[in-house]
Amino acid sequence: MGRLVVVSNRVADPRKPGAGGLAVALADALQSSGGLWFGWSGKVVDEGSGGQLRTQRAGPVTLATVDLSRADHDAYYLGYSNGVLWPVFHYRLDLADFDAGDIDGYRRVNRLFAHKLQPLLQPDDVIWVHDYHLIPLAAELRAMGCTQRMGFFLHIPLPPRTILAAIPQNGWLMRSLMMYDLVGFHTQTDVDHFAAYVIKEAGGTQVGDDEFHAHGRVVRARPFPIGIDVDEFQALGRGPEARDTFRTMKEQYAQRQLLVGVDRLDYSKGLPQRIRAFQRLLQHYPENHKVATLIQVAAPSREDVEAYADLRHQLETLCGAVNGDHGELDWMPVRYIRRAVPRKRLPGLYASASVALVTPLRDGMNLVAKEYVAAQDPANPGVLVLSRFAGAAEAMTDALIVNPYDADGMAEVIQQALRMPLEERRVRHERLMAGLRAQDVHWWAREFLAALSA
Ligand code: GDG
């Protein structure tokens, strides 16, 4: 394989602690062939000074980043990527803001990236582009004459064609996606949605198991379910911060049974629905009164997009209501923390909880589900309650699977999780761990790159 070039909205320095599993896996792949990682610097600069390219060496990897002007950032990142594509791809047409102006900024920034990247490319490079911010990048590069192999991985779900069709520019957007040689999704469901779009909306045909012919090109589409770096996460769990957190939680909640939720504060994560289900648990199963405590960590995210401010208020009202209705002087049923917990402490928090609630309304994969399982003590593991609408549910069939829209059904399953006998917990955990190890994040990167180079 030639040199690897990774392109993503944000670039992480893989040498920095806390870079996370994805950065570690990509860094692995980049290091073995020597490579380039290209993306936005994260800086928003004055009008006229955007587009400046900076390069930096990180071992054998070159990090290349571009600043964005305020207008470009707002239109490309806030407006089109997070105001249109994120909600629609999570099946939320009601939250999409189809502001006709934003698409221009989205195209403009993708074209800017292509113009900045093209001079850095070598003829036998293999280019791997990540996520919905950069769907048109291959088309822009191809228009400039680039013939390198190009692969794309979508980290969020791909909705059915009837939902995609609501995007006014869906024809252009999906045609851009077909300019890659390989398109990867988390699940077979996403691949099926892609296939149906190609055949029924774009007039294409399926020409092989995972090959499609459309717009005069052949594109391959396959599921590559992303995993976590199990060893890295477990090592984090043995660190002083995680152990300290575990100890503190065990001491403070010695008389209680802990449930945990850890999410970005995002409407796709089903947080209000989760709090309502927990409320039903307290109503339907009074034995949990003064026993069960839900710790919900909600890390702030995209706060300048309107739908996120609404969600925040809704969640605060709900948590307040549950605590007001059920709380006692010495017991608050919900601990709601609108702040990120340091990554080094997360394994300790997960390990202290008997049950994890991972109940998104829609999620590409969901890595919290995998982190929770990896953090458990195999001799006395906790139970994962997982939404059927998370991509993770396709493989993690030994979790307790729930419908996040069904508050009563979810309460019943949470009760089952809280009461699950040790032997059943062990068996389920063992099988889930085997899955995590077989398809970890290194496997994911290798599989994608092998398919792209094939
Ligand atoms: C997208 C897709 C797909 C969360 N809260 C805190 C915190 N986190 C960390 C978790 C986990 C990561 O953020 C979240 O990953 P998810 O997979 O759950 O979700 P998204 O951020 O929406 O990611 C998703 C993923 O891409 C990968 O393809 O699985 O479906 O939406 O690692 O631990 N980390 C810290 N403090 C927090 O409070 N430090």
Could you give all domains of the chain from N- to C-terminal order, each with its CATH number?
A: 4-227+441-453 (3.40.50.2000), 230-437 (3.40.50.2000)
One-letter amino acid identity for 251? Answer: E
Among the listed residues 102, 181, 363, 398, the single catalytic one is: 363
Protein residue with its CA nearest to atom 8 in ligand 1: 263
CA distance 315 to 406: 18
DSSP state for residue 266 in the 8-state scheme: -
Provide, rounded to the nearest whole percent, the portion of the chain with pLDDT above 90: 87
Place of tokens 């920034």: 109
Shortest-distance atom of ligand 1 to CA 340: 38
Contact 373, 351 (CB under 8 A): no
- Give the DSSP H/E element, type plus range, for residue 408: helix 407-419
Half-sphere exposure of 413 (CA within 13 A, CB side): 23
Per this entry, what is the length of the chain? 454
Query: Looking at ligand 1, which atom is closest to the CA of residue 391?
Result: 30
Q: How does pLDDT run across 321-344, given as a tens digit for each residue? A: 999 999 999 999 999 999 999 999
> What pLDDT shows up at residue 19?
58
The dihedral formed by the CA atoms of 244, 248, 250 and 253, expressed in degrees to the nearest 10: -160
Residue 15 has pLDDT above 90, yes or no: no
Q: Which long-range contacts (CB under 8 A, 24 or more apart) does 334-338 make?
A: 334/275, 334/278, 334/293, 334/294, 334/296, 335/293, 335/294, 335/295, 335/296, 336/296, 336/298, 337/295, 337/296, 337/297, 337/298, 338/265, 338/298, 338/300, 338/312
If you take atom 18 of ligand 1, which residue's CA is the nearest one? 366
Q: In the structure encoding, which two tokens stand for residue 36, read together?
A: 């380039």
- Give 342-363 pLDDT, tens digit per residue: 999 999 999 999 999 999 999 9
pLDDT average, residue stretch 174-179: 98
Distance between Cα 391 and ligand 1 center (Å): 13
Tell me if residue 229 is catalytic: no
Q: What is the pLDDT of residue 383?
A: 98
- Ligand 1 binding pocket (C-beta < 6 A) is 20, 155-156, 226, 262, 264, 297, 299, 340-343, 346, 363-368, 371
**d(CA 107, ligand 1 centre) in Å:** 27
- Residue nearest atom 35 in ligand 1 by C-alpha distance: 343
Give the E-state strand segments of 269-354 in sequence order. 292-299, 334-337
Whether 99 is catalytic is no
Which H or E run includes 373? helix 367-374
- To the question of pTM greater than 0.85 for the whole model, the response is yes
**Ligand 1 atom 34, closest CA:** 343
Q: Per-residue confidence at 46, pLDDT binned at 50, 70, 90? A: confident
Three-class DSSP category at 96: coil
Catalytic annotation, pick one of 90, 130, 155, 186: 155
| Residue 14 clears pLDDT 80, i.e. is over it | no
Beta strands 257-264; 355-358: pairing state: parallel
Task: Please tell me the distance between residue 372's alpha carbon and the centre of ligand 1 in angstroms.
Answer: 12
Average pLDDT in the chain:
94
Q: What is the pLDDT of residues 241-281, one digit of tens each?
A: 999 999 999 999 988 999 999 999 999 999 999 999 999 99
